[in-house]
Amino acid sequence: MTERAVPKASAVEWPTLALIAGCYALWWLGVSWGAALWLPLGMAMTILAITLHSSLQHEVLHGHPTPVRALNEALVSLPLGLLFPYGRFRDLHLAHHRDEHLTDPYDDPESNFQDPLVWARLPGPFKALLRFNNTLFGRMLVGPAIACATFVPSDLRAIFRGDRAIARDWALHLAGLTLLSLILHAAEMAWWAYLISAYAGLSILKIRTYLEHRAHEIARCRSVIVEGGRVLPFLFLNNNLHVVHHTKPGLAWYLLPSHYRAHRADYLRRNDSYLYRNYGEIFRAHFFRAKDPVPHPLRPGSD
C-alpha cells in the first residue's frame, strides 16, 4: 500500500464540486418546494442534505476539492447543521487524526470513552445517561445533545480565557447562522421543523461515528471497516472504510472504495480484522446493547 499505488485525484476534483452543488440544491428544495408540498417530505430531504453537507465539510478539511483552502472552506461554510462551527470541527478533527491518541479520553477530541478514575466519581444518573449513550439507539437519540452540552461550554470557557482562534471560529459561525436565517426566512419550512431536521442529520452521523474506533493496544488496529451498503456509505462519503481514511486521509471520497478493494487483505491485516459487513449488522448487534464500556478499558483504574 505505497503512495505510488494510490490513484491521485486531479487538481480540481469535479465529482466533489458537483456533489457540493447537488447538496445545496437538495437542501433548498427540501426547505422550499418539499416543505410546501408535504412537510415530512421536505424534512426528509433537508435531513439528507444536512448529513451529506457535514460529510462534505469533513472532505474539505482534508484538502479537497481544490488546491485553494479558502475557496474549499467557503464552499461548505454555510452552517446547515446549526450547532458546530466549521473551524472548530476542522481543528478538532485534525487533532483526532493523530492515530497514536485514538480513543484516549484526553488526547482524542472525538473519543466517547471516559477516564476510569473520573468515571468512578460521576453521579449515578450521569453514569446511566452515558451508558445509554453507548448504545447505538442512545447515541442517535441523545448523542448530539450530549456533544453540544459538553462542547459549547468548553469553547465558551476558552473564549473567556482569551482564545482568539476559537472566538474567531464562533464569530464566523454566528455570521453564517445570520445568513442562513435570512435564507430560511424566504423558504417554506418552519423553524421548529428545521431544528428537528438539523438534529436528525446529526443523529444519522452518529451511526458512522458510533464504533469507528475501538480501544486497542496497537494504534493501527483501532479503526473500523464497514464494507456493505449504498445509502449510508454515500451519505458518509465512504468513511465507513475508516481505516483506509486514517491511513490515507488525502484520498478523495470517490477513490476510497476502489483503493480498498485493491488492498482489502492488507487493510484487514492492518486493523486486525476490525470489520463489519454492513450497518445492518451493527444495528442488530448494538442498537440496544452497548459495544464498549464507558470507562476506557486500557487506562489505569479500569476493571
In a domain, 217, yes or no: no
Q: What is the pLDDT of residues 239-268, one digit of tens each?
A: 999 999 999 999 999 999 999 999 999 999
In a domain, 66, yes or no: yes
Q: What's the pLDDT at 11? A: 87
Q: What is the pLDDT of residues 120-142, one digit of tens each?
A: 999 999 999 999 999 999 999 99
In a domain, 302, yes or no: no
Q: What is the pLDDT of residues 5-52, one digit of tens each?
A: 334 445 899 999 999 999 999 999 999 999 999 999 999 999 999 999
In a domain, 124, yes or no: yes
108, pLDDT greater than 80 = yes
Q: What's the pLDDT at 300? A: 81
150, pLDDT greater than 70 = yes
Percent of the chain with pLDDT over 90: 94
Percent of the chain with pLDDT over 70: 96
**What one-character DSSP code corresponds to residue 216?**
-
Across the chain, what does the average pLDDT equal? 94
Give the 3-state secondary structure of residue 245: helix
What domain count does the chain have? 1
- pTM of this structure: 0.93
Distance CA 100, CA 165 (A): 25
Q: What letter represents residue 100's amino acid? A: E
Return the axis-axis angle of helices 164-185 and 86-96, rounded to nearest 10°. 130
Q: What's the pLDDT at 130? A: 97
Distance CA 164, CA 103 (A): 28
Q: What's the pLDDT at 3? A: 37
Q: What's the pLDDT at 4? A: 33
Distance CA 151, CA 133 (A): 16
Distance CA 219, CA 239 (A): 18
Average pLDDT over residues 225-242: 96
In a domain, 228, yes or no: no
Distance CA 209, CA 39 (A): 29
In a domain, 254, yes or no: no
What are the residues whose beta carbons fall under 8 Å from the beta carbon of 184, sequence distance 6 or more? 31, 191, 194
166, pLDDT greater than 90 = yes
The range of the structural domain enclosing residue 38 comes to 10-212
In a domain, 86, yes or no: yes
Q: What's the pLDDT at 303? A: 61
Distance CA 167, CA 34 (A): 36
How many separate helices (H) and strands (E) can be counted in the chain?
15, 2
Separation in Å, CA 284 to CA 118, 194, 230, 288: 31, 30, 18, 8
Average pLDDT over residues 77-91: 95
| Whole-number CA gyration radius for the chain | 19
In a domain, 103, yes or no: yes
Cross-strand pairs, 275: 225
Instruction: Specify whether the CB–CB gap between 121 and 280 falls below 8 A.
Output: no
Distance CA 104, CA 200 (A): 27
Q: What's the pLDDT at 10? A: 53
281, pLDDT greater than 60 = yes
Average pLDDT over residues 219-226: 96
What are the backbone angles phi and psi of residue 74, rounded to the nearest 5°?
-65, -35
**Strand ranges in 49-90 using DSSP code E only, listed in sequence order:** none
